[in-house]
Amino acid sequence: MTKVNIEKHTSSFGTQAILLALLAVEVNCCLTRQDHSSKNISLLPVRISTPLHQILSLNLSHNKISSITNESFTGLTHLQLLDLSYNNISQISTKSFVGLLELVHLCLAHNRISIIENGTFFL
């Protein structure tokens, strides 16, 4: 098991750049678990275009994420655990979790979710 932690950053731009850099790691790096909790992240990448087949767990809890865009997690085809708890998420779009065919645990606790579009969790 490989786990990656990054230091806390006060600037959300700096944190975004680090998050994108870590998520753009080549597949052969074997990063199976990534912990980006409590990093002051406010935005997710529009779309993770590099296929990251080996990431099984992604922790984005305790950040400032307010929305999940369509297909934000597209490249994470083997992701099994996604923790988005303790953010400011208010809306979840229909295609937010497209491509997460192996996802078995999704944690959205302690958010401000008021809208979940029809078909978001359609199997």
Name the pTM for this structure: 0.74
Phi-psi region at 53: left, alpha or beta (left = phi > 0; alpha = psi -120 to 50): alpha
Q: Which CATH architecture has domain 1-123?
A: Alpha-Beta Horseshoe (3.80)
Backbone torsions φ then ψ of 12, nearest 5 degrees: -70, -30
* pLDDT tens per residue, range 56-78: 999 999 999 998 888 788 888 89
pLDDT of 107: 97
Closest CA to 80 of 96, 59, 102, 107: 102
Distance between terminal CA atoms of the chain?
30
pLDDT of 60: 95
Spell out the domain ranges in the chain: 1-123
Taking the C-alpha atoms of residue 76 and residue 99, their distance in angstroms, rounded to an integer, is: 7
Closest CA to 104 of 123, 80, 75: 80
Give the SS3 label for residue 57. Answer: strand
